[in-house]
Amino acid sequence: MSRPKPPLRFDVLTLFPRMFEGPFSESILKRARERGLLDVRLTDLRDFSTDRHHTVDDRPYGGGAGMLLMAEPLFQALKRLRKKNSKVILLSPQGRRFDQALAAKFAKERHLVLVCGHYEGVDERILDFVDLELSVGDFVLTGGEIPAMAVVDAVARLLPGVLAKPGAAEKESFTERLLDYPQYTRPAEWRGRKVPEVLLSGDHARIDAWRREAARRATALKRPDLLEKPARKKLRLRV
């Protein structure tokens, strides 16, 4: 008899593991972890400092503001965390942009190691031990922790059994390069605003047609770039 497949494992390497306690211990991620659908572990980078002062950062050569994470503690931590089937991902504004297609790719992996930089960044030489630099958007944060949370969340909800309704993750924004259609719940009239009549009709063919058209209209209005850019034929992920 075949044993059940082990869950996707995330190892998050960070100076601030407690930042993750809240987001990973509530709601859908909490349930997914409790049910063994997802294995998320946190590693404190400070545990891999190589001196008795527990130093992990130092000043940049050439001068300039702030501190950099030193290469050696990162290297020691990665040496411990990396297995044969691991992908090591550094969250960085210089990375490839994260999107739904990449989340779907990650959901098929076995082990993802998310490295969170902090302060001004990391010693560039650690990149030789990283498979992919990844960015969640064109902005700079104080650390890679919040981007790492976003990646875990986006990937987790694509794993089998994590969302209550199977298939719920496939039929939504971005998967088909369209925004979601507008949705409504009770009451049917709220402060003078009515729910579109078709949604109360019970006619599922008409409802589907309305939703397709509404999604197209919302996309044209709010994110025309999604309609212009042709879908990438094949997603290459060199990791």
- Contacts with ligand 4H3 by CB under 6 A lie at 91-93, 117-118, 120-122, 135-137, 139-141, 143-144, 147
C-alpha distances in angstroms, 196 versus 123, 186, 207? 55, 12, 10
Q: Are strands 68-69 and 57-58 parallel, antiparallel or unpaired?
A: antiparallel
Residue placing its CB nearer to ligand 4H3 in the complex, 7 or 147: 147
Supply the DSSP symbol for 228: H
Tally of CA atoms within 13 A in the half-sphere of 66 that contains its CB: 12
Minimal distance in Å, beta carbon 25 to ligand 4H3?
23
Residue placing its CB nearer to ligand 4H3 in the complex, 130 or 199: 130
Minimal distance in Å, beta carbon 59 to ligand 4H3?
15
CA pair distance 4, 67, nearest whole angstrom = 45
Residue placing its CB nearer to ligand 4H3 in the complex, 93 or 182: 93
Residue placing its CB nearer to ligand 4H3 in the complex, 39 or 120: 120
Q: Chain centroid to CA 217: how far?
A: 27
CB-based closest residue to ligand 4H3: 117
Minimal distance in Å, beta carbon 215 to ligand 4H3?
28
Minimal distance in Å, beta carbon 90 to ligand 4H3?
8
Residue placing its CB nearer to ligand 4H3 in the complex, 7 or 121: 121
What is the identity of the amino acid at 186? R
Closest CA to 114 of 76, 84, 146: 146
